[in-house]
Amino acid sequence: MAALLVFGLHVRNFGYFGGTGGHIATWGFGAGATGVSFFFILSGFVLMWSARPGDRAPAFWWRRIARIYPVHLVTAAIALLMGLTLAHQAKPTLYQALANVLLLHSWWRPWWQTLDPVSWSLACEAFFYAAFPLLALWLRRLGARGSAVLAGLSVLAVLVLAWSDAHHWLGQPLYSFPAARLPEFVLGAAVARIVGLGQWRGPSPQASLALAIIGYFLVPHVPAGYPATTCTLIGFALLIPAAAVADLRGLPSMWRHRRLVRLGELSFAFYMIHLLVLRIGTNLLGTSPHFGVLPALTTTVVAFAVALGLSWALYEGLERPARRLLLRRYSRREHRAGQPAVGRQS
């Protein structure tokens, strides 16, 4: 669902819908960028939940490389090919392309949307991964109360950074700056620690979802960019552990439906490919075509179907086999060195 929010935002930005349809698209998906904040919080939660004592940092980092790099490199190559061959596409310099491949481009604002624009969030994730072994070590020493304090400090950090960004106190906008997005990741990890200790006392999934939706529709009332994160932060930070606890208790959940689980498996590849599909569409449709409702809906459905089909191909043909291959080779190398093999991919 978070990936669909981002997709809807980009459809709105590409101007498929004109007139009343455009207003409705803006109402429904103008705040879609908050889906990335959901990813950051969820990433911290999942990694802390799946972390195991004794896991070494190099093994953890290699698992993350195996998880994201195959799709990242292929989508970057596609974006580069598009830039060199198609109209209306940016042509990166050598240094910009290299920074993107190394997931460093979000540290320098002029480069943050180099090649596949959505990869800016991967640069943030790469920074989170670099910091995670130390964060996990720290959290394991904290009880539920200490983890709750850390979660509160993370929320406070986001609020302070949002205020600073809205008042232009810092040298660059913070929306894509990796260090500024770290508190969201830490918040997710701290909440996971509380759930793991069996001390979560948050609201139900339904109440948490209601708070997240209310926050989502508050986004247009705050300055654009990083400050929008503050609207959905609490709702997302409550919703993720509430859903996890519901799973642990075996409570009914639509998200465990087989088809939704499958879409979740494809969501990373979908996120990475969908904007490239929309960009290619500008060569067929022009920029900001502002169609009527029916042609715009048809175009959106076609773009979604193409992106979903490509995400399936990326997942089955690249993401899964490349991950297995990289982890297998690392395990063999560790075994020959007499070290513990890499555990199951988280």
Kindly report the average pLDDT of the chain as a whole number. Answer: 93
pLDDT confidence tier of residue 123, bands split at 50, 70 and 90 = very high
Q: Please name the helix (run of DSSP H) or strand (run of DSSP E) that holds residue 204, with its range, or none.
A: none
pLDDT at 321 over 80: yes
User: Mean pLDDT throughout 141-162?
Assistant: 97
In 51-93, which ranges are continuous DSSP H helix?
Answer: 57-85
State what percent of residues in the chain have pLDDT above 70: 96
At 288 the pLDDT is: 87
At 342 the pLDDT is: 44
Q: How far apart are CA 225 and CA 166, in angstroms?
A: 9
At 284 the pLDDT is: 86
At 335 the pLDDT is: 58
Q: How far apart are CA 235 and CA 244, in angstroms?
A: 14
State what percent of residues in the chain have pLDDT above 90: 85
Cα dist from 37 to 29, 238, 239, 243, whole Å: 15, 13, 13, 17
Distance, C-alpha 32 to centroid of its chain: 12
pLDDT at 253 over 90: no
pLDDT confidence tier of residue 334, bands split at 50, 70 and 90 = low
User: Mean pLDDT throughout 317-340?
Assistant: 79
At 340 the pLDDT is: 52
Residues 269-315 have pLDDT tens digits of 999 999 999 999 988 888 889 999 999 999 999 999 999 999 999 99
Could you tell me the two tokens for 192? Answer: 């996971």
pLDDT confidence tier of residue 344, bands split at 50, 70 and 90 = very low
Cα dist from 201 to 82, 144, 194, 238, 242, whole Å: 49, 11, 9, 10, 9
Q: Look at 127-136, 233-242, 245-254 and tell me which has the smallest mean pLDDT.
A: 245-254
- Put residue 290 in one of left, alpha, beta given phi > 0 → left and psi -120 to 50 → alpha: left
At 169 the pLDDT is: 86
pLDDT confidence tier of residue 345, bands split at 50, 70 and 90 = very low
Query: By CB neighbour count within 10 A (0-12 exposed, 13-18 middle, 19+ buried), where does 124 fall?
Result: buried
pLDDT at 38 over 50: yes
Which pTM was predicted?
Answer: 0.92
Nearest residue to 78 via CA among 307, 266, 305: 307
**What residues contact residue 118 under an 8 Å CB cut-off, 6+ apart?**
6, 271, 272, 274, 275
Per DSSP, the three-state class of 223 is coil
User: Mean pLDDT throughout 325-345?
Assistant: 65
Q: How many CA atoms lie within 13 A of 78 on its CB side?
A: 19
Could you tell me the two tokens for 84? Answer: 């060199």
At 53 the pLDDT is: 83
Judge contact between 139 and 189, C-beta under 8 A.
yes
User: Mean pLDDT throughout 16-45?
Assistant: 96
Residues 102-120 have pLDDT tens digits of 999 999 999 999 999 999 9
Nearest residue to 255 via CA among 192, 189, 206: 206
Residues 63-104 have pLDDT tens digits of 999 999 999 999 999 999 999 998 778 889 999 999 999 999
Judge contact between 267 and 236, C-beta under 8 A.
no
At 337 the pLDDT is: 61
Q: How far apart are CA 326 and CA 282, in angstroms?
A: 36
Q: How far apart are CA 288 and CA 216, in angstroms?
A: 25
